[in-house]
Amino acid sequence: MEATFVIIGGGIAGVTCAETLSILEPNTSIILISESALIKTATNVLAITRTLTSFDVKEDNCINLHSRYPNIRVIHDVLIKINDENHTIQTKGDLIIGYKYLCICTGASPKLIPQANAYSEILGIRDTDSVEKLIEKLSEAEKIAIVGNGGIATELIYQIKNVETHWIIKDKHISATFVDPGASEFFQNDLSNDKDDIKPTSKRMRYTEENIPKSGAALGPDWYKNLGISGSRTDSGNQVIIHYEAEVINVSKNTVSGCLEITLTNGDLIMCDLIVSATGVTPNCDFLSENQLDVSNEGFIKVNEYMKTSVNDIYAAGDICEANWKPAEHWFQMKLWTQARQMGCYAAKCMLGHLKNEVVLQDFCFEIFTHSTKLFGYKVILLGLFNGQKLGTDYEILLRMTKRQEYVKFVLKNHKLQGALLIGDTDLEEMCENLILNQLDLSPYGDDILNPDIDIEDYFD
């Protein structure tokens, strides 16, 4: 068996890569190897600005993908070895598949705290299976701990009901991966709010075939929408206790109560029924290759500006890869499905360009970091160096905040906009994107740039 393009991984990066190849080259042969029977596709793609898009992530089955893109053949299998010298791969199901170009989109898995090896009550979240497991265990829990201060912890803490939650974070403020201390304070008003308006009723819509393996690709935005993420307490509802600047040093089990006892670096002792380790991701690289692929210290596959790995004719995209090129001033990598989609699409264009000996220009989306998400119920848009990344201490911040309504932060250097954090319906994303990209000198406008009584857009007409 062989194909011009073989893509490994049925997550958003792999599927986008296959779809893009199919759209650009409907007659070429494409094989997509998916470990999971369900694959991820992006639907309802909406351009918010030139570089910022929002979209839904839908679980789909392989047959539907093939009927939409007849030249994509989906094989439900697992890559175990790349024989890069003779351009073939070997799968767990004993298939040998020849390729001209190979794209590795095997994603990542939760990187749990080390104590997880000893206790099944320490869980991570990645896919549908892992969320179902969490919901089941949580329904019997009165007290839980969440470790980590990034995307998953921030979303969970807001969604979880009927349980006492200990949030263990290394930083001085919550949600540090995405926001600064000011925005974190803005969110914190909502932490203690009554969340009764979030009434999970039905379960997530999904396929109902029995025994269909659901594990695999990472969940996407709004994964919690129709789920009942609830503990067993009915008395006092929610209580969130935040342990700042703390890390887990030990976990043990109380033999009498059966509870987990967590010891923190600050000396705090927490008793709980369940620990969610939301502590980042580790690459899915459980396969061999004849020539070693260059990887980062954490094991992510390094790719150059054409998404090429260090091994001939092998590309990589999405969470599995580490962007190893000199990035544009206002772009940096984060393991997000926005970037998984962009990279999957761009890797397809690069492979095709190389096949046809055509010049490939780097996609415009790598000019500026953009991310649109929802945190604590608010629309959140992150643009450019929104947290002053790469700027050291040499930058200014302009802030505008209306409690429970909006939080607008501009990061400026030499009077030019470098990044923006927009929380709420600010309607400023397009202007900010333009200002970051064209580096207009904003000194003539002074602080009016954030005056809510002045329509800033008028300045630039």
For ligand FAD, the binding residues (CB under 6 A) are: 8-14, 33, 35-36, 78-79, 105-108, 125-126, 151-152, 216-221, 223, 284, 286-287, 318-320, 335-338, 340, 373
Among ligand NDP, ligand FAD, none, the one that 426 touches (CB under a kind-dependent 5 to 8 A) is none
Token code pair at residue 36: 């999971």
Residue 240 bridge partners (DSSP): 165
Tell whether residue 18 is a contact of ligand NDP (CB under 6 A). no
Among ligand NDP, ligand FAD, none, the one that 433 touches (CB under a kind-dependent 5 to 8 A) is none
Number of residues that bind ligand NDP (CB under 6 A): 21
Report the distance separating Cα 304 and Cα 325, nearest Å. Answer: 5
12-24 helix and 337-355 helix, angle to the nearest 10 degrees: 40
Cβ 393 vs Cβ 419: under 8 Å: no
* Rounded least distance, CB 296 to ligand FAD, Å: 15
Burial of 243 per CB tally in 10 Å (0-12, 13-18, 19+): buried
CB atoms within 10 A of CB 290: 11
Residue with smaller CB distance to ligand FAD, 49 or 264: 49
Among ligand NDP, ligand FAD, none, the one that 20 touches (CB under a kind-dependent 5 to 8 A) is none
* Binding residue for ligand NDP, selected from 19, 25, 127, 155, defined by CB under 6 A: 155
Tell whether residue 247 is a contact of ligand NDP (CB under 6 A). yes
- Binding span for ligand NDP by CB under 6 A among 53-61, 257-265, 277-285, 359-367: 277-285
* Binding residue for ligand NDP, selected from 148, 231, 384, 388, defined by CB under 6 A: 148
Residues 170, 173, 338: CA angle, nearest 5 degrees: 85
Nearest residue relative to ligand NDP (C-beta): 150
* Rounded least distance, CB 323 to ligand FAD, Å: 13
Tell whether residue 280 is a contact of ligand NDP (CB under 6 A). yes
Among ligand FAD, ligand NDP, none, the one that 6 touches (CB under a kind-dependent 5 to 8 A) is none
Q: Smallest Cα–Cα separation from 385: which of 404, 371, 375?
A: 371
Phi, psi dihedrals of residue 289, rounded to the nearest 5°: -145, 150
Residue with smaller CB distance to ligand FAD, 231 or 283: 283
152-189 burial code (b ≥16 CB/10 A, e <16): bbbbbbbbbbbbbbbbbbeeebbbbebbbeebbebbee
* Rounded least distance, CB 371 to ligand NDP, Å: 6
Tell whether residue 281 is a contact of ligand NDP (CB under 6 A). yes
* Binding residue for ligand NDP, selected from 144, 147, 217, 368, defined by CB under 6 A: 147
* Rounded least distance, CB 228 to ligand NDP, Å: 19
Residue with smaller CB distance to ligand FAD, 96 or 399: 96
Residue with smaller CB distance to ligand NDP, 49 or 279: 279
Burial of 53 per CB tally in 10 Å (0-12, 13-18, 19+): middle
**What is the bridge-based pairing of β-strands 143-147 and 301-303?**
unpaired
* Binding residue for ligand NDP, selected from 21, 65, 113, 116, defined by CB under 6 A: 113
Half-sphere exposure of 363 toward its Cβ, with a 13 Å CA cutoff?
20
E-assigned strands of 84-142?
Answer: 88-91, 96-104, 108-110, 122-123
Binding site for ligand NDP (CB under 6 A): 113, 147-153, 155, 170, 176-177, 247, 278-281, 334-336, 373
